[in-house]
Chain A
């Protein structure tokens, strides 16, 4: 910017003394930051595992022999298995329409897609109770036809879909907007069909962003508590997902059991963060070679 920059030595060679703090300030700042993160993040994380094994490994393993625990784990996988792919398809479709075409009301549409992030999970669950519950809008009709949505798996799936709604779309829209439409247009002009263009040109470009969105979406889907809590009946073994099962065990004062099941979710978190870091790394490497 200024001619002054030409006076300094090559960028990496000389230490930047004027933009660095004295060592004691630096270590004070690092120390304070680490202490804060330790107290608020690391200690609770470690506590999950310490409490889970508080009654020994035998008790820990015994928790997972329980039929209700196994049922909760299965149900969580079913719910995430339905909600995540559906939101993934939606995310790709929405990003395609928004990034590759111009139309009126695009900003409004993007805002509406983000809406579930600003709504409390409790309200997210509540709206389905208002719609499908016994006193709800469609309640009497559902009752007459013997269809159960609230206090059953479909309600849990819907509430999960609501809270994880924006994850994939939000990841893909800025990515696909930044990539533009030139590559796809070139593919079309060269004779590729629409599907071929998507599969061979767009998909390779967005795969890491898509994976990133799916990982976050899945973590939230499996761990959601508030929204699911509203639409489920809190009966053990019936309509419980893993987080709800944790609550039931905890409220029974079976703390070691609750933390054992919670440690399973924490493991999911560790896998999520590891995958996320890996995808970010891949993405950065891709961008590095691209430019």
Chain B
């Protein structure tokens, strides 16, 4: 299949043309508006907007909670994928289907449900309250909501890799004298690393932009429990369009840089730790 100048299949121009047109109208041109709107600000105004104390506090919360939530999911997501692939237990198919819940459950529903459960009088909150732990309307609540929505990303990227995993590799490790933990830590886990990194990236990126499930449980106190997407909405409601756009652009750039870094790490880890 060298150069495909002629094809017996029809519709190339039509489908590609339609794809490009639709993509431009729905996604590219509207996104380009952010650049246009930001350019109405001077550099000083832009810098002043995106580094205001309230905005900085929201970055810290959004990036920090998203990172911790993705990290938590890295551990529990691997555990859930492992249990689903390697073990048999009653109700496994139901549990497997349940993992997709955060994908499909509307975020607003997730938000009010988590708030109800983790509020001081809620089903879980009432057990945590005597211990002095308050989840709803604190930063911990933001973390809980972001963990909720990020879980399927890790499970669903690791699960297929584990399913295709050749058990003979673990057998060789065992026959060479490695114990179960050494086999997992030195043999299995390194082979899962690319999938784990991909899942982590997806969960982190999703958590950064998440709005619906967080606003109900966070309490939305400026400087304390206000996430960046909410701040964008607040600016829009005040008709401060350039301000909202400036924050949005900063956030887009920051998440692109992060994604590129993680992609680079992935590429690097692939190059230097290629399994034989």
Pair B89/A30 contact, Cβ less than 8 Å: yes
Contact flag A43-B117 (CB < 8 Å), given A93-B19, A250-B112 = yes
Contact flag A5-B168 (CB < 8 Å), given A112-B27, A226-B212, A230-B233 = yes
Pair B11/A194 contact, Cβ less than 8 Å: yes
Q: Which residue of A lies closest to B208 (CB)?
A: A120
Cα distance A286–B252 in the bound complex, in angstroms: 41
> Shortest beta-carbon distance, A3 to chain B, in Å?
12
> Shortest beta-carbon distance, B10 to chain A, in Å?
4
Pair A93/B171 contact, Cβ less than 8 Å: no
Pair B9/A197 contact, Cβ less than 8 Å: yes
Pair B180/A21 contact, Cβ less than 8 Å: yes
The segment from A56-64, A65-73, A203-211, A268-276 that touches chain B is A268-276
Mask of A254-282 contacts with B, CB within 8 angstroms, 1/0: 01001100100110110011101100000
B46 neighbours in A (Cβ, 8 Å): none
Partner of B174 from A18, A100, A189, A265 at Cβ < 8 Å: A18
The segment from B51-59, B93-101, B189-197, B266-274 that touches chain A is B93-101
Cα distance A197–B10 in the bound complex, in angstroms: 9
Q: Which residue of A lies closest to B75 (CB)?
A: A36
> Does A26 sit at the interface, judged by CB under 8 A?
yes
A152 neighbours in B (Cβ, 8 Å): none
Cα distance A30–B241 in the bound complex, in angstroms: 50
A16 neighbours in B (Cβ, 8 Å): 167, 171
Contact flag A250-B216 (CB < 8 Å), given A21-B180, A130-B241, A269-B105 = yes
> Does A147 sit at the interface, judged by CB under 8 A?
no
Partner of A116 from B1, B14, B27, B89 at Cβ < 8 Å: B27
Contact flag A29-B82 (CB < 8 Å), given A137-B36, A222-B106, A276-B100 = yes
Interface size of A in residues (CB-CB distance below 8 Å): 100
> Shortest beta-carbon distance, A223 to chain B, in Å?
3
Pair A133/B15 contact, Cβ less than 8 Å: no
Pair B12/A101 contact, Cβ less than 8 Å: yes
Interface size of B in residues (CB-CB distance below 8 Å): 94
> Shortest beta-carbon distance, A56 to chain B, in Å?
18
A255 neighbours in B (Cβ, 8 Å): 116
> Does B175 sit at the interface, judged by CB under 8 A?
yes
Cα distance A19–B148 in the bound complex, in angstroms: 31
Contact flag A42-B106 (CB < 8 Å), given A33-B83, A112-B27 = no
Cα distance A113–B232 in the bound complex, in angstroms: 24
**Which of chain A's residues 58-113 have a Cβ closer than 8 Å to chain B?**
90, 93-94, 96-98, 100-103, 109, 112-113
Pair A246/B108 contact, Cβ less than 8 Å: yes
Q: Which residue of A lies closest to B184 (CB)?
A: A21
Q: Which residue of B lies closest to A262 (CB)?
A: B109
Cα distance A165–B83 in the bound complex, in angstroms: 33
Pair B232/A122 contact, Cβ less than 8 Å: yes
B210 neighbours in A (Cβ, 8 Å): 120, 226
B223 neighbours in A (Cβ, 8 Å): none
> Does B31 sit at the interface, judged by CB under 8 A?
yes
> Does A239 sit at the interface, judged by CB under 8 A?
no
Cα distance A220–B147 in the bound complex, in angstroms: 19
**Which of chain B's residues 157-192 have a Cβ closer than 8 Å to chain A?**
166-168, 170-172, 174-175, 180
17 extra interface residue pairs, beta carbon distance < 8 Å, beyond A41-B98, A224-B106, A277-B93: A2-B172, A16-B167, A25-B180, A33-B84, A37-B98, A96-B15, A97-B12, A100-B12, A101-B16, A109-B20, A109-B23, A120-B208, A127-B33, A130-B245, A135-B239, A188-B9, A222-B106
26 A-B pairs whose Cβ atoms sit less than 8 Å apart in the complex: A19-B170, A21-B180, A33-B82, A36-B79, A39-B124, A43-B124, A44-B110, A45-B101, A93-B18, A93-B19, A94-B23, A101-B12, A112-B27, A112-B28, A119-B31, A120-B210, A122-B211, A122-B232, A130-B30, A130-B37, A197-B10, A216-B104, A224-B106, A225-B106, A262-B106, A262-B113
What are the 10 tightest A-B residue pairs by CB atom distance, in nearest-first order? A120-B209, A223-B106, A194-B10, A226-B211, A225-B212, A18-B174, A127-B30, A44-B113, A97-B15, A97-B16
B interface residues with partner A (beta carbon < 8 Å): 1, 3-4, 7-12, 14-16, 18-20, 22-23, 26-31, 33-34, 36-37, 76, 79-80, 82-84, 87, 89, 93, 95, 97-110, 112-114, 116-117, 122-124, 144, 147-148, 151, 166-168, 170-172, 174-175, 180, 205, 208-212, 216, 229-230, 232-233, 236, 239, 241, 244-245, 248, 251-252, 255-256, 259
